[in-house]
Amino acid sequence: MRKRIALLTSQVEEKYIKDFTEGFMRKSFSYDYDVCVFSCFDKEPDTTLKEVSEANIFNLINWQEFDAFVVTPDVLSATGLMTSIEEKLLIHAGRKPVLFVDQKSDYFPFVAMNQNDSLDGLVDHMVDGHGYKDIIYISGPMTHIYAQQRLHSFKESMKRHNIEIQDDRIYYGNYWYDGGIDVVEDVFSSGKKLPDAFMCANDFMALGVCEALIKRGIEVPGQVAVTGFDSAMEARDCPIPITSVYIPFDEYGEYVGDYIHNMIEGKETEAYNFYWEIFEGESCGCLPQIKLEEKNKKYNWNSYKNYHSVYSRFSGFTESIMLQDSFRSLVSAMRDYSFQIREFDSFVLCLNDVWSNEVIDIDEVEIKHGYTERICPVLICTSDEIGSDTINYGIKFDRKEMLPLLYEECDYPRGFIFSPVYYDDVTFGYAVISYGKEAKCYDEEYSSWMHTIMLGIENYRRTAKLIRAKEQAEEIQDNDIATGMFNYNGFIKHARPVIGYASQRGYYHTVLAIEIEGIDEINSKYGRKDGENLIHDFAFLVYGSTDEGALCCRLDSDVFVIAEVTPENNDMKALVVLERLKEKIADYNKTSEHKIKIYFGIATRGAEALAHIEDLVSEAVNQKNGNKAKEIKMRNLNLNDDEIAKLEIVKKILDENLFDYHFQPIVSAKDGSIYAYEALMRPRVEPFISPLDVLKCAEHLDRLYDVEKATFLNVLSRASEESDKFDQRKIFVNSIPGANLSLEDSKAILEELKKLGGKVVVELTEQAEASDDELNAMKKNFIGMGVETAVDDYGTGYSNIVNLLRYMPNYVKIDRMLLSNIQNNPQKVHFVKDIVAFAKENKFKVLAEGVETKEELETVIRLGVDLIQGYYTSRPKADIIDNIEEEIQTQIIQFNRAV
């Protein structure tokens, strides 16, 4: 029987691991060894549940079946995993050769690539080729062997060039983006001089350096050069390809193959010097050395295969896997789509034998650790066409065999890659793919394919479990005894036909969640009977407020839910029901000993499944809880009666979206034509309350977010409805720093923005001085929506050029304070002139805001502003106007001629 080597590693589709593994396989095959690769899909699982399930693949290993073991600890970082592997090797490996790669072991030999001269060529390139001498070097972790060697190479190379390195020019990073970012931040915050170049011990830190420099307006490589190490694909594909050093992982894998062979034969292995080739990107100042990446090539002449790859939008794989209603049909779907990974010699899906029956006891499949004693190869695929594949439920083999195919006689050595099949902490089994005698690892497409397989099995498990739970719950009563309303089970059960009705008509669902205040207090003070009577009375009021077909539910002792179907995707129908209910409560409170006070929340959107309805209920309840907290906070503010009354008015405005908007023209400083309109809030209430008071009260109520959301949705909706009036002109909308919209609300706004074709400009109020994190989140949000930005009120509060650079808007609006009587104030003229010059250099427009006189108009035109807004050109109007007054427009044209 041919000797067999086990390689324990992780994420073999990642380029450097893939190159190493394929080099190792190739060399091992040359010595006539079979190779079994045991690999996690994720070298750094993001949860402890996944850590356990990923590590299970190493519990599969039958250590007695191998003649040698190679371990790569650097990529096996799950908590406790390496300790467990070392313990098992100590127990089971006996005198068999064990070799650790890149990381020392207390018990076994280890091998590492000699990188002591790895940076010589790159330093020569930077110093001799480009003339850089002041270089900051960012090393990896201080204790990492390769970080130590690369740092040694850097220092020796710089010494060879007679360049002294200061201690504060050496940093230690973490091999990840933030390691590079942190160094750049330290350089700036400590006031250190920028170097000629940053040289990094790997590419990811180099990417972090580039990102941090460019965010600060530093050009790469124009002002500072950057290099990395290991030539990762991400660094070659980025906007400025990173100059780096190729690590010869393929060659290294072959060297490790020689090393373990010599250990098997009882021989020593000589040291090996690797060649360190430079990848010349753009980040050092060279012309890019870009090559067409293999992943961009079309692999197949057959268009069908290209169009139906895992990543193709034409592939129906995910839908087919997720929609199966039996385990047999699920495995059949896997077989039918195996053509997407069909370059293998064999593929076997091995599951714990609890999956081997047609009718599965779903409680038994939740295996948390290891595998069952017997394994069922439910799907066996060969290199032939799909018709020769086997779906199996009856045949099983002993887990210690790992894979029966390993023991079949073969004329040539082969490689097998074992990987786990699981979801979170539930282990289903494992998969084994082989490319026969070809030294090859699977790629990202296979990983994605297997990820879908795992999701499909988990989806089937959950669905089967839900069906079982539903069947058990059918005997539970659907109604609440005290009120006659549905309990939650009844509510969900009767929601199903309502979902179908709404979907057929394209309608939406609106959910109103209501809590009665003080039920526990009434029960405690007056007795439970009084509390139950109040609940019963309230249920009667709810029924009297709803429309026919509404679903009413007592969700908890004092929480109720009303769900209705509505043709509009807004909260209006729920607000109508709420208003009726409030009126009935007001009448009830006039005669009742116990008064009813409520808190409420509303959620509205489309729902095509019961899960969506449940999400809507949760959303409405969460909003109700938030509103309750805000009201309690408002009561504790110690406000006078007038302030409380004003807060109540603003609360009503926000609850019922009582906003109108006037539009003030923004005109061209060249010809007076209308360039844009600014949307200005006008609350629709009596007595009138100013927009400033609305914002102050909203801040007291912790509801600035609601103002932001309403402003965007209302203005964008009107702009869409009256697009013919707005024509192609832009619309300026005020935004509140710190009130960043949620992903869900951003999606709703994005739908409106799509209709407007990039006409929206968001005004950021600089006086509020957003933090860097808030500002970056805000800008990212708006850029993602395809909108432009403007800085409002420039020249007040925190205004300065540095702050303007933080915002880097498309427009800057000069505050009225700087423009008032500007024609008689040389200092203001000088300030505005500097702003205009700065704006032109940085390619954004200057808008003079608050122009109120002819003299101010003439002065700002002479100073070169691009746009004008103010009472002199036009006041805000409820209707959209097409032109400003002809006399004012003529003045603008005449003032321009005189410039």
Looking at residue 80, what is its pLDDT? 85
pTM, entire model: 0.53
pLDDT at 847: 96
User: What secondary structure does DSSP assign to 797-848, as a single string?
Assistant: TT--HHHHHHH--SEEEE-HHHHTTGGG-HHHHHHHHHHHHHHHHTT-EEEE
Tokens 């909706």 sit at which residue? 717
Distances (CA, A) of 654 to 177, 515, 704, 727: 42, 19, 10, 30
Range 565-576 burial, b when 16+ CB lie within 10 A, else e: bbeebbbebbbe
Query: What pLDDT is attached to residue 513?
Result: 93
Q: Which of 817, 882, 469 is nearest to 667 (CA)?
A: 882
Q: Is the peptide bond before 687 cis (omega within 30 degrees of 0)?
A: yes
User: pLDDT value at position 29?
Assistant: 97
Q: What is the pLDDT of residue 369?
A: 79
User: Which residues on neighbouring strands pair with residue 199, listed in sequence order?
Assistant: 137, 227
Q: How many other CB atoms sit within 10 Å of the CB of residue 284? A: 25
H-helix segments, 560-609: 572-591
DSSP state of 749: H
Nearest to 551 by CA among 614, 482, 467: 614
Chunked into runs of 10 residues, the chain (899 residues) has average pLDDT values of 94 91 96 96 82 90 95 88 92 93 91 91 95 95 91 95 93 93 95 95 95 95 95 87 93 95 93 89 80 42 51 73 85 88 91 76 74 92 78 88 93 96 91 95 92 91 78 65 84 86 88 88 82 89 90 88 91 90 91 88 88 89 84 70 82 89 96 95 87 85 86 90 90 80 76 82 67 70 80 67 74 89 92 90 92 94 95 94 94 90
Amino acid letter at 369?
H
pLDDT reported for residue 304: 43
| The predicted structure's pLDDT at residue 872 | 95
Contacts of 335 (CB under 8 A, 6+ apart): 379, 381, 386, 389, 391
Residues 6+ apart with CB under 8 A from 161: 123, 127, 128, 133
141 Cβ neighbours under 8 A, 6+ residues apart: 147, 172, 173, 174, 175
Residue type, 702: D
Q: Show the 3-state SS of 423-475.
A: ECCEEEEEEEEECCCCCCCCCHHHHHHHHHHHHHHHHHHHHHHHHHHHHHHCC
Sign, CA torsion 81/84/90/91? negative
Q: How far apart are CA 428 and CA 53, in angstroms?
A: 9
pLDDT (0 to 100) of residue 296: 42
SS3 374: strand
